[in-house]
Amino acid sequence: MESIQHIKQRFGIIGNDNGLNRALEKALRVSATEITVLVTGESGVGKENIPKIIHQFSPRKHAKYIAVNCGAIPEGTIDSELFGHEKGAFTGATSNRSGYFEVADGGTIFLDEVGELPLPTQVRLLRVLENGEFIKVGSSKVQKTNVRIVAATNLKMVEAIKRGKFREDLYYRLSTVEIHLPPLRERKEDIPLLFRKFASDFAQKYKMPTLKLNDAAQKVLEQYQWNGNIRQLRNVAEQISVLEKNRVLDANKLRNYLPSMGSQLPAVINDSKQEANFSSEREILYKVLFDMKNDLNDLKKLTHELMQNDNANSVQKNNTELIKKIYGDNEEETEALALIRSEDQSTVHNTPPQINQYDYAETVIEEEPLSLLEKEIEMIKQALKRSNGKRKMAAEELGISERTLYRKIKQFDLQDDENA
């Protein structure tokens, strides 16, 4: 049997992680069999290498190897692509066409992103796995095929089955042997090796000196999450190789190319994360509302006491402290203090201001939306100030996501405050 090191050299696989080595060893062991294999792992971890290894070390290595990206084929044509069609089967079918399962007969077919297959196509695929039979679109003739199927997905298949997006019986037929490739963030020792390989490749491609990292930059590289895995690391290496004149990169320069560590870049988030963001945003608004409601109730109580009590100086002092608590040191505070002082003077001269209870309530309600917005802005400013401009810490303090905080900073034009 071939050694793991030989496999890595032949297929350009870099890394010494135990999880990676176990996946390669599994691929070698099942290659000589006819077992159906399911390769799992996040997008960008290199799942496409596993079916190539299985095919090259199998008895089918001299037959065809076809890779199909199931997620890239429109739902209306996926059956025709996989199983073929007869002339006249649908509009545009001007001739007979052989599908991938017919063309790959005797060889191996790799179904990438198999979790994206529509349910009717899953039924057809299940029939191929069970007895090697399929029917072309627009035909009634059953055809036989002898193919080895290797599938791959970045979905959590158990969750997809629960949501009714994937057939449970098909999952168990595909995953006779499951090979999992670990994400890059779990292979921290391999990250510098991969970066050096990519930097060397791009130096040759663009005819320039090889990019290098100092110790601090290498540490940043290892600590980064790499949600896009090897594909993202390769893209970053190419960007830096092309754009940076200095061929020795420090940590600060490197951070500029890493989303969420330098310039903020848009990120794709799933529905559950979006719901969490909206929930966190609602929570902070509710908190502001309840705090303001309590403060305004206290203010109304003190104002009423001012109207009923001759001790105006004591009440004025309490009102001043309360208004500072609500508004802080700004123009609104000055206006509010002026209003209280004018009310104090009326009380001293036994001419209490004529305030209708309902008019006062209406005034407060009209002012609440503006005060709520300013309260939210002030909370964000204070959080950024306490965290010295570190958005992640500020977001955690506010109970919202870092993405939501970034949008709020943009919305309220708080960049200057953040950098202050």
Domain annotation covers residue 324? yes
Cα distance between residue 244 and residue 252, in whole Å: 13
- DSSP annotation of 88: T
Domain annotation covers residue 263? no
- pLDDT tens for each residue of 315-373: 566 656 655 555 555 544 455 455 545 444 544 444 444 444 444 444 444 444 456 67
Count the neighbouring beta carbons within 10 Å of the beta carbon of residue 252.
11
Q: Are residues 231 and 308 in the same domain?
A: no
Cα distance between residue 236 and residue 42, in whole Å: 18
pLDDT under 50 in the chain at which residues?
262-269, 271-273, 275-276, 278, 331-333, 336, 340, 342-344, 346-369
Q: Are residues 52 and 159 in the same domain?
A: yes
Residue numbers of the domain that contains 68? 4-182
Cα distance between residue 263 and residue 127, in whole Å: 50
Q: Are residues 311 and 210 in the same domain?
A: no
b vs e for 24-38, b when ≥16 Cβ sit within 10 Å of the residue's Cβ?
bebbbebbeeeebbb
Domain annotation covers residue 261? no
Those residues with Cβ within 8 angstroms of residue 31's Cβ, 6 or more apart along the chain or in another chain: 53, 54, 55, 56, 57, 58
Domain annotation covers residue 265? no
Q: Are residues 48 and 151 in the same domain?
A: yes
User: What confidence score (pLDDT) does residue 310 get?
Assistant: 52
Q: Are residues 134 and 246 in the same domain?
A: no
Q: Are residues 286 and 399 in the same domain?
A: yes
For 213, list phi and psi in degrees, rounded to 5. Answer: -115, 140
Domain annotation covers residue 406? yes
Q: Which long-range contacts (CB under 8 A, 24 or more apart) does 90-99 make?
A: 90/137, 90/138, 93/137, 93/138, 99/134, 99/136
Of 54, 183, 161, nearest to 114 by C-alpha is 161
The predicted model scores a pTM of: 0.62
Domain annotation covers residue 55? yes
Query: Into how many domains does the chain fold?
Result: 3
Residue type, position 214, single letter: N
Q: Are residues 166 and 197 in the same domain?
A: no
CATH number of 114's domain: 3.40.50.300
- DSSP annotation of 246: S
Q: Are residues 308 and 239 in the same domain?
A: no
Q: Are residues 240 and 289 in the same domain?
A: no
In sequence order, what DSSP letters do the residues of 9-73 get, joined into one string?
A: HHHT-----HHHHHHHHHHHHHHTS---EEEE--TTS-TTHHHHHHHHTSTTTTS-EEEEEGGGS
Domain-ending residue, one of 255, 288, 314: 255
Domain-ending residue, one of 255, 280, 300: 255
Q: Are residues 160 and 223 in the same domain?
A: no
Q: Are residues 21 and 143 in the same domain?
A: yes
Q: Are residues 32 and 142 in the same domain?
A: yes
User: Please, are residues 174 and 113 in contact by the beta-carbon 8 Å criterion?
Assistant: no
User: What confidence score (pLDDT) does residue 375 get?
Assistant: 78
Domain-ending residue, one of 127, 155, 182: 182
Domain annotation covers residue 264? no
Domain annotation covers residue 277? yes
Those residues with Cβ within 8 angstroms of residue 59's Cβ, 6 or more apart along the chain or in another chain: 32
User: Please, are residues 200 and 230 in contact by the beta-carbon 8 Å criterion?
Assistant: no
CA 178-189-7 angle, 5° bins: 50
CATH number of 213's domain: 1.10.8.60
Cα distance between residue 380 and residue 384, in whole Å: 6
Cα distance between residue 99 and residue 109, in whole Å: 11
In SS3 terms, 379-393 reads as HHHHHHHHCCCCHHH
